[in-house]
């Protein structure tokens, strides 16, 4: 006799107190293993974001530790292009409190705009991403999951989110990250270096500039993700990655851009990690595209 699988537990209701001093205002999103809530901080007298492991996955070993590790990193890091964490709680459940960001993710921005962002705005975004990634690398971490949904932009100022799959450089299992955005070496598994995040910068800017990814990942596979604790790919075929079969077409085949900007983006997407530019070199290339009076200043992305 077969038994139906129990449905996932519903999100916490408004008014619930997930930790002392915090009250749930609304459920924001549910990922494969997390719930995110709009919450009120009594101590700060402001809104914040509360991140917790989904109720139906709290029994899984390692997920709570993974969340708390991310929260501790974000509490200790201080950078204008990284989201901040305020607090972490180990009980009554593993929980991280993050700042509330205004603006919208690049994913929403790309789909909302009727025209593609100006080349100078793409270059400025590249400068901000390079700044955040350079800082993370200085802290001994690779981000490994740069993508438009992990970047929030407000009035031209970008902030990078989500260190849930971050790890130090070195050996890693295949598939850690998000399917369509993985560097080839992430897809294969093995030694990961700063070049994997350079790929992440390039593929993110490619999608923002062109409105689409450089690879056809197949319907419904864009959110396929790997698990940092096991390396398992959760959906779809785990032995097929377009990044391992094809070279990314030049961004200039999809969109007219200044030659130097296009060359920088294309350089990020070289299959060989050693052929990609270093983060400092890449940042200099993006900044060179900006008018001199706009360098180190945040112009507004188009409405």
The CATH code of the domain that includes 155 is 1.10.510.10
DSSP state of 248: P
Say yes or no: 147 and 280 in one domain: yes
Give the pLDDT band (50/70/90) at residue 223.
very low
Active-site residue identified among 35, 121, 145, 266: 145
**pLDDT score, position 242:** 87
Comparison of pLDDT for 239 and 21, the residue scoring more: 21
Asked whether residue 250 is assigned to any structural domain, the reply reads yes
pLDDT above 60 (res 299):
no
Asked whether residue 121 is assigned to any structural domain, the reply reads yes
Backbone φ, ψ for residue 6 (5° rounding) = -65, 140
d(CA 67, CA 136): 17
From 32, 65, 99, the end of a domain falls on 99
Q: SS3 for 279?
A: helix
The CATH code of the domain that includes 29 is 3.30.200.20
Residue 154: closest CA among 47, 48, 301: 301
d(CA 174, CA 243): 13
Say yes or no: 58 and 206 in one domain: no
Q: Return the H-helix or E-strand segment holding 127.
A: helix 119-138
Say yes or no: 207 and 79 in one domain: no
**pLDDT score, position 219:** 53
Say yes or no: 129 and 166 in one domain: yes
| Spatial contact of 178 and 147, defined as CB atoms under 8 Å apart | yes
Count of H-run helices and E-run strands, the chain? 7, 10
**pLDDT score, position 165:** 93
Give Dmax (Cα) for the chain.
72
Asked whether residue 4 is assigned to any structural domain, the reply reads no
- 145 part of the active site: yes
Residue 125: closest CA among 289, 278, 266, 249: 289
Say yes or no: 286 and 172 in one domain: yes
pLDDT digits (tens, 9 = 90+) for 91-102: 888 999 999 998
DSSP 7-69: PPPPPPPTT--SBTTEEEEEEEEE-SSEEEEEEEETTTTEEEEEEEE-GGGTTSTTHHHHHHH
**pLDDT score, position 2:** 45
d(CA 268, CA 282): 8
Beta strand extents in the chain (DSSP E only): 22-30, 34-41, 46-53, 85-89, 95-99, 104-105, 151-154, 157-160, 170-172, 190-192
Say yes or no: 44 and 180 in one domain: no
Say yes or no: 181 and 202 in one domain: yes
Asked whether residue 285 is assigned to any structural domain, the reply reads yes
Q: Highest mean pLDDT range out of 2-6, 73-77, 237-241?
A: 73-77
Asked whether residue 2 is assigned to any structural domain, the reply reads no
pLDDT digits (tens, 9 = 90+) for 277-290: 999 999 999 999 99
| Spatial contact of 273 and 182, defined as CB atoms under 8 Å apart | no
**Rg (Cα) of the chain, in Å, rounded?**
19
**pLDDT score, position 196:** 98
For 266-269, the CB contacts below 8 A with 24+ separation are 266/202, 267/202, 268/198, 268/199, 268/201, 268/202, 268/203, 268/205, 269/199, 269/202, 269/203, 269/206, 269/214
pTM to 2 decimals? 0.87
Range of the domain at 43: 22-99
Say yes or no: 160 and 227 in one domain: yes
From 79, 99, 119, the end of a domain falls on 99
Least confident of 2-16, 198-212, 249-263: 2-16
From 99, 115, 143, the end of a domain falls on 99
| Cα separations in angstroms, 167 against 38, 173, 192, 294 | 28, 12, 10, 34
Asked whether residue 139 is assigned to any structural domain, the reply reads yes
State what percent of residues in the chain have pLDDT above 70. 86
Say yes or no: 65 and 187 in one domain: no
**pLDDT score, position 235:** 34
Asked whether residue 6 is assigned to any structural domain, the reply reads no
Helical spans, DSSP H, in 139-193: 184-188
Say yes or no: 62 and 95 in one domain: yes
Asked whether residue 190 is assigned to any structural domain, the reply reads yes
Say yes or no: 149 and 261 in one domain: yes
How many domains would you assign to the chain?
A: 2
Say yes or no: 133 and 221 in one domain: yes
């Amino acid at each position: 006799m077969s038994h139906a699988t129990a449905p996932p537990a519903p999100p916490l209701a408004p008014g619930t107190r997930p930790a002392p001093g915090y009250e749930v205002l609304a459920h924001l999103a549910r990922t494969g293993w997390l719930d995110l809530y709009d919450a009120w901080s009594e101590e700060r007298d402001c809104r914040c974001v509360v991140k917790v492991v989904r109720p139906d996955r709290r029994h899984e070993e390692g997920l709570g530790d993974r969340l708390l590790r991310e929260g501790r990193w974000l509490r200790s890091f201080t950078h204008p292009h990284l989201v901040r964490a305020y607090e972490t709680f180990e009980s009554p459940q593993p929980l991280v409190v993050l700042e509330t960001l205004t603006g919208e993710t690049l994913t929403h921005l790309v789909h909302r705009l009727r025209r593609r962002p100006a080349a100078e705005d793409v270059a400025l975004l590249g400068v901000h991403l390079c700044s955040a990634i350079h800082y993370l690398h200085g802290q001994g971490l690779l981000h490994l999951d740069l993508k438009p949904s992990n970047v929030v932009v407000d009035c031209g100022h970008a902030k990078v989110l989500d260190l849930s799959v971050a790890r130090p450089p070195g050996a890693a299992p295949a598939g850690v990250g998000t399917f369509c955005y993985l560097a080839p070496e992430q897809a294969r598994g093995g030694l990961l270096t700063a070049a994997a995040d350079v790929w992440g910068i390039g593929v993110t800017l490619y999608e923002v500039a062109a409105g689409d990814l450089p690879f056809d990942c197949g319907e419904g596979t864009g959110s396929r993700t790997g698990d940092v604790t096991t390396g398992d790919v959760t959906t779809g075929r785990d032995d097929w990655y377009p990044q391992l079969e094809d070279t990314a077409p030049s961004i200039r085949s999809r969109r007219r851009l200044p030659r130097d900007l296009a060359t920088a983006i294309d350089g990020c997407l070289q299959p060989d990690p050693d052929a990609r530019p270093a983060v400092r070199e890449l940042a200099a290339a993006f900044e060179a595209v900006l008018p001199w009076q706009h360098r180190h200043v945040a112009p507004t992305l188009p409405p």
